[in-house]
Structure 1
Amino acid sequence: MLAHTRSHSGSSKGSYTTSLAPSLTGEAKLNEVTTLLIKLRHDLRTQLLEPQQRVAILDRLKVYSRDATNADPMFEQEGINTLSEHAFSGKDQTSSREALRCLANAFLLQPKSRQIFVNKGYGPKAAERYKGRRFIPINLDNRDDEFLLGRILFLMTYDTTLNFEDLIKNIHLDESINEAMARHAKAYSKSRKSLPAQADEMALTETCKLIFNILYYYPDLAENFSASIPHIFKILTRIGVLKPPLQAPVNTLINALIPLDLENKKSKHLGINPVFPKFDQNHNIELLIDILHQAITSYKEDDLDHIAAPVLNLIRKIYGFAPDGVRRYMQWLMLPTDADRKKPLGQLDTLSARLLRLSTSPMLPTMRESISALMFELSDNDANKFVHNVGYGFASGFLLSHNIAVPQTASDAFSSPGDTGAPAINPITGQRLDMEEPHDTGPEMTQEEKEREAEKLFVLFERLKKTGVVNVKNPVEHAVEEGRFEELD
């Protein structure tokens, strides 16, 4: 539901106050909702209500709209039409915003009301209103408009026939959204002593959600929002790593980046790819990897699949088109180093070790696949390099499940011709052999013990052969046939 609950100052000339918690429930609530909508509908024809009276009625409806129970008239055709007229045709801006809040609540609680809004032709009007607001100077009205209209347009991407291609072509909604992102980036400039107010962050969150949903349903429009890419990265840089790291607006900024044309395939007018800024090509990817590292240490493991998977997928996407220098830097940050090999891989608290542990977690079906895929990509999509980097134990499952040829023996992946000075590596665990703890194998078996064990094996093979399940030959019998068996006194 809407988080805005601002009350309005000033006295009301009507009998309705701006109470934030109407006490009416049940049939009494239904009757009052009906009465309030009748008054608003009558006002559309007569314009007899004073602005304060109109605001008071809408404010009361706004509170009722937070619970769909016994508020049906507000979600039906006549109610949506009445609220929409006050939102987009009224001359009083305060009343208009209160009507927008009622609509946003209605669309959230009752999906069927969204199509009513579209059928009445209000979709383009919402885009026009979003386009019409001005971002500079920053003020409460601008924040409210962006938040409310962004929320309404976002909800229109679900379960409606509203065509966003038409809104972009005819009303230039994409330009309005890019302007909004530019305004937010300016709000996070170095000169500001504090971060923007919560209302600004809420508006930013709705704009990011709108970008993501438009491009989810209209991926061919990604180029239209390329101008927002540098602004999003600038905001992420100014925000830094929060605690917890993937709270709003960081999570929505990351989600907005995923469907954008980050590779800059079509948007050549941008010049240097903003993902790899000229002042430091590694800057943005290093920030994203830092956010990922903090996320997997801050959240519970069973929450990571839906919280941290987007930033992981964004890192994978960027690695796919990153220049060689950035790729090498990402490999250095995310693959196990020589220091990691002092223990079996996955046992330390480094980023690579944590990722490897998560890659085998049964609670993370999405994340574990993405982590293994990332490690394979960081290994140049080469099975031998992959096994060398993460050990056969972590690599084998991914390779087999993707029908990728596995090295004939695990040690093949660790053979490096000409590199005779490299320390030997345990191919299964990835640990340096000279760092392994010596195993206590106990005293050597006596001759009598060896003979008893050999006899046990002989009996087991004879029993297995008699079952007829498999065709096996006793090793002793095989040795006799080859003349390798010597009978002792």
Structure 2
Amino acid sequence: MSNTTNVKRAAVAALMDQLRADVTEKKLTPQEELSILEKLKVHGRTVSGSDAIYSSEGIVFLAEVAFRPNNPDSSREALRCLANALYLDRQTVQYFIDAGYVEKASEAYKSENVDDEFLLGRILFFSTTFAKDDSLVNKWANEHHLVENNLAAISRHASAYTAAASTASPQAVPMMQTMALQDTLKLLYTLTTKLSDVPTTLGPTIPHLLTLLSSLPLQSPPLQAPTHHILDALSNIPPTTPDSQTSYFPSSNPTLHISKILEILDKSAVLPTPSSRTTSTTDDFDTHAASLLKLLIEIYPTSPEPVKSLLHQTLLPSEKERSSPLGSQNSTSLPARLLRLASSPTTTNTRIILQTLLFVISDEDAVKFVKNVGYGHASGYLMMRGIPIPSEALEEIAGDDSSGGKKRINPVTGQYLDDELKDIEASGLKGLEGMTDEEKEREAEKLFVLFERLNKTGVINVENPVRTAMQEGRFEEIKSDDEDSDDDDNEAGKGKGKAKA
């Protein structure tokens, strides 16, 4: 062990002894005590050599100082020492819990001072997250005002952010307040995972969370803290009570909050372009968007008709987009980007939940789902879920064009067939009528091999159409140019086939 570590260990132990001695001797002035605690905070930023802080006795003593009345500066400095320790060493969390200080922290959390809220919110976040028994978290909530004080803190932040946003020149909220809000929101998220009867217990936070979401300026990228913390919490509080429904869909403007959520989704659903050198925006989406998507899934079934209509219009491809295959790189619309993200190898966390969202807003109907996004985008998800694909889903469907008429749609790509043929012609590819017999034969062979390979993978199990055509006699022999008719009769079995017109 290095001499430097030993020197640090001795220094930390001496500082802790000075504080302990003052409990009975009362020789230190408040400023001297504060200075010692500041030195301990610096030493405690690393575990090595800080044994006197990270021991059970050290945590209990610092907690005594932290919750001692009449010296707020020293109390906050002791809280900082504790917050560092609980962050760096999980064992210290158990020391803190076992000594009964979470109860004191829960009650002290009512403080309206943002420094206190930040420190206590962080300590309570670690305590609730790493508590081995969820019944303890329920006890702190029911008997020591943990939920009540958390709700009060969120309400204060909602008022502050609303006031800041409502001024003629929107003001920036102080950094310390933003930091306090973030730890309060992280604590709320943990409570959503630990408490019983979450809709009733935590439902009252929904209107304040939505107010915060509406008041926050849109960031770049959008899913930064505290925005993604708000969405994390909202996604874990089922909107099943009448009050939560009223909060999400105010009678005066039912789409108010959903519009903001969709705006965040629109700005965050980004795929890297071929010329970009980084996928940081895509990574941000994949890391933080799951809660946003889950929230929309939770909201949709009980949404009023104006909200459902807005979700359809915003998230599903429009008829105008059917001039190209759905999800085409040619389109920058939100539905096209969502379809590409749903099939992107980079979205490992959000791919399935994004496909689920599109399925849910298709009313969980396989035929509607295929019509909305195309069989190519829908098939993998439906197979994964074990949902049968009705035969009518693969039939050519008719969609409304801009003139009000009906146009045939390729069910696999979702593209209008007329536009698909135009694309084929523009690309220089030939249709059957423009092929020689030999070219038709080669294409038939390729198609035969493709279907055989697909059947062997088990992904599909369908009759090979080329084999069927052969069995039904829809192929005829191609005669070689250098063979006369007599040779053709003798070598009938060796000729090459071509499809009959």
Residue from 237, 257, 266 that aligns with 1:293: 266
1:416-457 superposed Cα distances (whole Å, 9 cap, x missing partner): 89x99322112111112232314331774556x489879999
Partner of 2:383: 400
Distance (whole Å) between structure 1 residues aligned to residue 467 and residue 306 of structure 2: 57
Partner of 1:45: 24
- 3-state SS of paired residue (2:351): helix
In the alignment, which residue of structure 2 is the partner of 1:154?
Answer: 125
Residue 222 to residue 456, structure 1, CA distance change in 2 (3 Å): closer
Over 3 Å counting, the alpha-carbon distance change for 1:426 and 1:119 in structure 2 is same
For the 8 Å contact 1:215–1:259, the answer to whether it is kept is: yes
Choose from 148, 153, 162 the match for 1:175.
Answer: 148
Whole-angstrom distance in 2 between the partners of 1:42 and 1:211: 39
Rounded Cα–Cα distance in structure 1 between residues aligned with 2:373 and 2:131: 47
Report the Cα distance in structure 2 between the residues aligned to 1:44 and 1:256, rounded to whole angstroms: 42
Secondary structure of the residue aligned to 1:234 is helix
Note the C-alpha offset of 1:364.
1.9
User: 1:399 & 1:271 partners in 2: Cα distance?
Assistant: 32
The answer to whether structure 1 residue 27 and structure 2 residue 28 are counterparts is no
Which is further off, 100-109 or 429-438?
A: 429-438
* 1:83 lines up with 2:62 in the alignment: yes
Q: Which residue of 1 aligns with 2:297?
A: 316
1:13-162 matched pairs, under 5 angstroms: 25-131=4-110, 133=111, 135=112, 142-161=113-132
Instruction: List aligned pairs for 1:367-378, cutoff 5 A.
Output: 367-378=350-361
Deviates more, 1:273-282 or 1:436-445: 436-445
- Equivalent position SS for 1:224: helix
Structure 2: tracts of 5 or more residues without a match: 272-279, 450-462, 475-485, 490-501
TM-score (norm 1): 0.82
CA contact (8 A) 1:40 1:82 kept: no
SS state at 1:424 partner: strand
The structure-2 alpha-carbon separation of the partners of 1:172 and 1:108, relative to structure 1 and needing over 3 Å to count, comes to: same
Deviation string for 1:42-75 (max 9, x for gaps)? 1222222100000000011111111111112101
- Secondary structure in 1 matching 2:109: helix
State the 1:94 CA deviation: 0.3
- 1 CA distance for matches of 2:128 and 2:265? 29
Hey, what's the Cα distance between the residues in 1 that align with 2:32 and 2:470? Answer: 102
Mark the CA change 1:259 to 1:399 in structure 2 (over 3 Å): closer, same or farther. Answer: same
Q: In the superposition, relative to structure 1, how do residues 474 and 331 fare at CA in structure 2: closer, same or farther (>3 Å)?
A: closer
Quick check: 1:272–1:278 contact (8 Å CA) kept in 2? no
Could you say what secondary structure the match of 2:265 adopts? helix
Point out the structure with the larger helix share: 2
Report the alpha carbon displacement of residue 189 of structure 1 after superposing the two structures with TM. 2.2
Preserved contact between residue 219 and residue 259 of structure 1 (Cα < 8 Å) = no
How far apart are the structure 1 equivalents of 2:411 and 2:206?
42
Q: Which deviates further from its counterpart, 390-399 or 152-161? A: 152-161
Shift of 1:230: 1.0
Indicate whether 1:433 and 2:417 are aligned. yes
Does residue 276 of the first structure (1) align with residue 259 of the second (2)?
Answer: no
Query: What whole-Å deviation, never above 9, does each CA across 1:375-434 have from its counterpart, x for those lacking one?
Result: 1111111111111110111011111111111132654372589x9932211211111223
Q: Does 1:188 align with 2:161?
A: yes
SS of equivalent residue, structure 2 residue 131: coil
Letter of the 1:359 partner, please give it.
Answer: A
Map 1:232-271 → 2, pairs under 5 A: 232-264=209-241, 268=242, 270=243
- In structure 2, the residue matched to 1:333 is 314
**Residue of structure 2 aligned with 1:200, choices 177, 180, 187:** 177
Q: Deviations over 1:213-252 (max 9, x none)?
A: 0121224244222222111111111113211211111111
How far off is 1:326 after superposition? 1.0
Distance 1:456-1:41 versus aligned 2 partners, 3 A rule: closer
Relative to 1, partners in 2 of residues 1:222 and 1:59: Cα closer, same or farther, differing over 3 Å?
farther
Q: What SS does the aligned partner of 1:366 have?
A: coil
Whole-Å Cα distance in 1 between the matches of residues 173 and 469 of structure 2? 78
Compare 402-411 and 227-236 and name the one that shifted more: 402-411
Q: Contact between 2:367 and 2:392, CA under 8 Å: does it hold in 1?
A: no
2:343 to 344, 356, 360: 360
- Report % sequence identity: 36
**RMSD of aligned alpha carbons:** 3.3
- Aligned CA distance change for structure 1 residues 427 and 103 (closer, same or farther; 3 Å): same
1:413/1:274 CA distance change after superposition, 3 Å = farther
How far does the alpha carbon of each residue in 1:243-294 deviate from its partner, in whole angstroms, 9 at most, with x for none?
A: 1211111111111212224232xxx4x3862011223111111111111111
Distance across 2 between alignment mates of 1:387 and 1:187: 46
Instruction: Note the alpha carbon deviations across 1:27-49, whole angstroms, 9 max, x for none.
Output: 11111111111111112222221
Q: d(CA) in 2 for partners of 1:279 and 1:240?
A: 23
Q: Is the 8 A contact 2:375 2:412 kept in 1?
A: yes
Deviations 1:321-361 (A, max 9, x none): 21222112111110000121121111211110001001111
Residue of 368, 384, 398 corresponding to 2:367: 384
